[in-house]
Structure 1
Amino acid sequence: MTAFDPVRWRPAPLLPEADVRDGALLFVVAVLCFLACLTAIGVIASDRAARGWIGQLGGEATVIVRPTRGETPDAAAARAAEALAGTPGVAEARALEPAKAYDLIRPWLGDISDLEDLPVPRLVTVTLDRKAPADAARLTAALKAQDVDGAVDDHSLWIRGVKRSANLARGLGAGIFLLIAAAAAAVVAFATRAGLAARHDVVEVLHLSGAGDDFIAGLFQARFARMAAVGGLAGAGAAALVGAALRLAGGPQGVTPALPVSWVDLLAVLPCPLAAAMVAAAAARFTAAGLIRALE
């Protein structure tokens, strides 16, 4: 018989340290956190792409120039560029070379050898001032002041489409994240219910010893919060590895220009273990408290 050593003695935990169901719960929580982290990285990357496209579209405008009074298309484009160059809110206005204009319409017309015989309008590209960009009305007024027949495209239609897509991506990401959080809470609640059923005798002994309902519920809360934190750490680590692989495989633009994953995006996985622990703690607390009251 081993002699009792009060120095080395430590009280045993009121709940067992290990359970055969812990591995399955850890795996499920890790997978859910992995999916949540990937969703967050994807939403951040897509939002960055949308902001970049909006910045590029909002910083430029295109003017379609039609020649009048017998002047050549190139002369009309040159007059339009000169008229717009001095407009407040315009950083630069440049007439597009005819060859580039032909290249823009060639894919739509098919294999036509001689496009010079077609009445192709000339284009003027306008770079707007980033601080105080000129709007379409001001550009149109500048053209009319110089008697230039031109149509201004400030890309507002495309900008609205990009903004709409970005908002949709953010909404879908938030919805997926909430669904994953709800699934994690349901899993933890089920595990808490199973754990209480398996340890019904422990709960009764604690009650007989004078332990209150809050104390017993706190034991299950702490247990499942620790497990969820470990699962969240594993899932977040796996998601960070996948994000790093996508960043390395895709180069500076990420996987595609539509999903430019950056190294800073990987920081989005850092709150995952804490968030998983908080969700698990709340789910375990409410479930355990309700079941304990029902057992009384």
Structure 2
Amino acid sequence: MSEPAVPKPPAGGNGRLLPPDAGRDRPLFLVAAILVFLACVAALGARGAWVQAQTWTSDLESSLTIQIRPVDGRDATADAEAAAEIARSLDGVRDATARTREHALALLRPWLGEGNLPDDLPLPLMVEVELDSETVRAGSFQPEALQARLDEAGLAATVDDHSRWAAAVRRAATTAQTLGLALLALVAGAAAAVVAFAARASLAARVDVIDALHLCGAEDRFIAGLFQRRFFMLGLKSGAAGAIFAGLVSILVSIGGSPADMAFFLPQWAADPFELVLLALAPLLAGLTAAVSARLAVASDLRGRW
């Protein structure tokens, strides 16, 4: 006795066997779009943290600071100028600028306010040293050599090469990236769980159609494929909506500007191919996640049903 043939999809496609249900699909579409939006924001935020950290680290590594300590009987301004001359005489230094007492007061003003420091209070002066790009790339500049020259000149000066600040920026960027990727993984897991629940609910709502297909000889993989294709299209559409909204939000944030202390936690639009590729892949990844989740959930229920 020959086995019953598996039914073939009708001419109009699988939609007639498993027609969409707007009443159930609309809330699922909205939830999936929100999850894709959050996933894109997390990915763009992690990317923004990396780009911002690279910029800050590059700025720190391409410069160093000389601190001129006030000493009784010496002119701190003259010492700062002398330190700048010594720095400019070294190979690999592009420029050195001696800052005045007014500059030091301006740095303290945001913390202490206007007029809260006495005029005779001794303040250290700063000398900003800029390194040329080739020296930075080669890493050939030795702050110890500059410190030795300053000591030989009898200056009360300390060289800060910003290495500790660069390390702190890298740690902050790594933390922000880890948080962004963890949020991305959590959102993906939540999306898969939501789709699996919706697929099981859709299977229960169409149990009469499923029973009829099974009686006609349809195998479990054929029935699971119907749900897989349906939820793939739903995930594709909701993914496109969420990705477009995330792109618009990131562009608006970048145009409006963001405080420096929030730069690691806001989606930044860096205007490079990464953002375009990410947003273009988001709908496809959402569709694949929905398809796989739906197929696994339906296949599991069908095995328990018969």
TM-score range (shorter-chain normalised) is 0.7 to 0.9
Equivalent residue of 1:21, what SS?
Answer: helix
**What residue is the counterpart of 2:259 in the other structure?**
256
Deviations 1:231-264 (A, max 9, x none): 111112222222333334x1xxx33344383362
Segments of 4+ moved more than 6 angstroms:
none
Map residues 62-101 of structure 1 onto 2, 5 A cutoff.
62-66=65-69, 70-101=73-104
Deviation string 1:157-212 (CA, Å, 9 cap, x unpaired) is 32222222111111111111111111110011001111111222322322232222
Look up the match of 1:3: none
The count of aligned residue pairs is 283
1:257-286 deviation line (CA, Å, top 9, x unaligned) = 443833627523222111110111111111
Which residue of structure 2 lines up, in the alignment, with residue 292 of structure 1?
Answer: 302
Name the CA distance, whole Å, in 1 between partners of 2:253 and 2:124.
Answer: 43
Amino acid at match of 1:111: G
Partner of 1:276: 286
Query: Does the Cα contact within 8 Å between 1:87 and 1:142 map onto a contact in 2?
Result: no
Give 3-state SS (helix, strand or coil) of 1:61's partner: strand
Q: 2:51 aligns with which of 41, 48, 53?
A: 48
Q: Counterparts of 1:114 and 1:224 in 2: how far apart (Å)? A: 71
Give the equivalent residue in structure 2 for 1:148. Answer: 155
Structure 2 partner of 1:30 = 33
Distance 1:113 1:263, change over 3 A: closer
CA distance in 2, matches of 1:114, 1:10: 86
Contact 2:44 2:269 in 1 (8 A): no
Distance 1:174 1:112, change over 3 A: closer
SS in 2 for 1:118: coil
Tell me the equivalent position of 2:3: none
Q: 1:109 to 1:206 in 2, by over 3 A?
A: closer
Is it true that 1:201 corresponds to 2:208 in the alignment?
yes
Q: Could you tell me how far 1:146 is from its partner in structure 2?
A: 3.5
Using the TM superposition, name which of 257-266 and 16-25 deviates more: 257-266
- Give the equivalent residue in structure 2 for 1:5: none
Write the deviation string for residues 5-58 of structure 1: whole angstroms up to 9, x where unpaired.
Answer: xxxx74662212335211111111011112222222333233322222222222
Shift of residue 69, structure 1, vs aligned partner:
9.8
Alpha-carbon offset, residue 114 of structure 1: 5.4
Which residue of the partner structure matches residue 4 of structure 1?
A: none
Separation of aligned partners in 2, 1:112 and 1:197: 73
Letter in 1 for 2:231: F
State the alpha-carbon separation in 1 of the partners of residues 259 and 162 from structure 2: 23
Give the drift of 1:72: 2.5
The verdict on how the C-alpha distance between 1:140 and 1:263 changes in structure 2, with shifts beyond 3 A counting, is closer
2:238 paired residue number: 231
RMSD: 2.6
Per-residue CA distance 1:125-176 (angstroms, 9 max, x = gap):
1112222232432332332344433111122232222222111111111111
For 1:69 and 1:255, locate their aligned partners in 2 and report how far apart those are by CA, in whole Å. 44
TM-score (norm 1): 0.84
> How far off is 1:71 after superposition?
4.3
Letter matched to residue 17 of structure 2:
L
Is the 2:70–2:122 contact (alpha carbons within 8 Å) kept by the matching residues of 1? no
Deviates more, 1:228-237 or 1:34-43: 34-43
Distance 1:40 1:80, change over 3 A: same
- What does residue 171 of structure 2 align with? 164
Q: 1:148 to 1:263 in 2, by over 3 A?
A: closer
| Partner amino acid, structure 2, of 1:41 | L
Percent identity over the alignment is 40
